[in-house]
């Protein structure tokens, strides 16, 4: 489908451990639209990074793909591509900024040496391509070329993140996946980086996938949001739809637990308990043990996926009834 940048079908991914294969991603299916920002939200350990590394084809032991397909840019079947073919499209078609990437810049290499390494890995000479490097730095707001002669420790957190973004975009990819792009930065720098990301996405008509546990940040920047819980996408749709009418109680509770000006002085709903974990995985709905609206049926039977839009679905068999029970539970 031409307007889909990434199409994932029935993806099952786990990690090999002493207990055997621990399944993490469970039947993940999602179409990510082209030229938009899609946020992947979920608490720590819900499988967000596993999903991102699967899309990039970074599948090394102990990680194991059991089944499924991932098609990028309507033609690249990531899970069946040989490594050298994957390397050719990484950076050019799809790029990735991993979690805490700003801290993984090589501390003993100047910024220009890092750029040179990246270009060399693509058969390009740094000195023959300085115009590309200067443009990439300008795009991320680093107009002073002295940055190239600096070591990472001489840069602020925000500057390092800008360098990392410049590196990820240097080969003009169509798709960029960013894992926790603002974590570890102070609030003002976070705001600047988000503004930059949004600007770059618009200018370059990028498909941007942003992964974060910070649901408030994701709702600020994203066009679409996928909510992950226990290795599944439990809800997906336009951010405004999820904001106005969450179909899944987990989305509702996540959003309600974000403090706002109007919630000042009010008691915010909490999500009780903890996720059971991937070893003792719930039999029915993955969220049922923590869901205030769950019935015995929810605990026994996994819900169907209800698709209501090209880019919208939810997995809850109690919608819309649970919405009528919110006031009784929380107000
Ligand atoms: N290399 C690994 N070996 C074994 N288990 C792993 C490995 N990487 C991740 N896991 C497990 O997979 C599950 C999902 O982890 P993942 O990192 O994908 O979640 P996440 O939502 O990105 O969390 P975080 O935001 O904390 O990174 C966790 O239970 C984690 O312990």
Q: How far is the CA of 54 from the centre of ligand 1 (A)?
A: 12
Alpha helices in 182-277 (DSSP H): 187-204, 215-221, 239-244, 249-256
Question: Is residue 15 within 6 Å of ligand 1 at its C-beta?
Answer: yes
Give the residue with greater pLDDT, 258 vs 138: 138
Across the chain, mean pLDDT equals 93
The band of 1, judged by pLDDT with boundaries at 50, 70 and 90, is low
The band of 237, judged by pLDDT with boundaries at 50, 70 and 90, is very high
Question: Is residue 183 within 6 Å of ligand 1 at its C-beta?
Answer: no
Q: Is the pLDDT of residue 327 over 80?
A: no
Alpha-carbon radius of gyration of the chain: 21
> What gap in Å lies between CA 27 and CA 4, rounded to an integer?
19
> What gap in Å lies between CA 70 and CA 79, rounded to an integer?
6
Predicted-assembly ipTM surpassing the 0.85 threshold: yes
- Pocket test of ligand 1: the residue of 13, 15, 55 to mutate, having most ligand atoms within 8 Å of its CB, is 15
Question: Is residue 23 within 6 Å of ligand 1 at its C-beta?
Answer: no
Q: What is the pTM of this model?
A: 0.94
Least confident of 32-36, 156-160, 255-259, 318-322: 255-259
For residues 104-110, give the mean pLDDT.
Answer: 90
DSSP, res 77: E
| pLDDT at position 209 | 98
| pLDDT at position 331 | 60
């Amino acid at each position: 489908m031409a307007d889909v940048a990434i199409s994932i079908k029935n993806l099952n991914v786990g990690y090999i451990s002493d207990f055997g294969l621990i399944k993490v991603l469970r039947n993940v299916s999602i179409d990510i639209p082209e030229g938009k920002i899609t946020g992947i939200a979920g608490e720590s350990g819900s499988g967000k990074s596993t999903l991102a590394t699967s899309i990039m084809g970074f599948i090394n032991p102990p990680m194991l793909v059991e089944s499924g397909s991932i098609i990028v840019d309507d033609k690249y079947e990531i899970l069946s591509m040989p490594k050298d073919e994957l390397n050719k499209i990484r950076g050019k078609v799809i790029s990735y900024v991993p979690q805490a990437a700003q801290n993984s810049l090589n501390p003993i290499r100047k910024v220009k040496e890092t750029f040179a390494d990246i270009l060399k890995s693509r058969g390009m000479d740094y000195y023959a391509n300085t115009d590309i490097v200067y443009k990439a730095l300008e795009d991320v707001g680093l107009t002073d070329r002295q940055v190239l002669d600096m070591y990472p420790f001489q840069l602020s957190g925000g500057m390092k993140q800008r360098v990392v973004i410049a590196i990820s975009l240097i080969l003009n990819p169509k798709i960029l996946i960013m894992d926790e792009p603002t974590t570890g930065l102070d609030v003002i720098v976070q705001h600047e980086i988000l503004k930059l990301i949004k600007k770059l996405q618009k200018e370059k008509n990028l498909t941007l996938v942003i992964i974060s546990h910070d649901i408030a940040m994701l709702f600020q920047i994203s066009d679409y949001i996928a909510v992950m819980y226990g290795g599944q996408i439990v809800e997906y749709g336009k951010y405004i739809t999820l904001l106005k009418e969450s179909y899944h109680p987990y989305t509702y509770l996540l959003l309600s637990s974000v403090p706002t000006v109007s919630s000042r002085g009010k008691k915010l709903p909490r999500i009780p308990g903890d996720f059971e974990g991937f070893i003792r995985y719930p039999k029915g709905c993955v969220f049922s043990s923590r869901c205030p609206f769950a019935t015995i049926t929810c605990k026994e039977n996994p819900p169907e996926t209800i698709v209501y839009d090209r880019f919208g679905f939810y997995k809850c068999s109690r919608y819309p009834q649970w919405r009528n029970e919110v006031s009784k539970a929380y107000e």
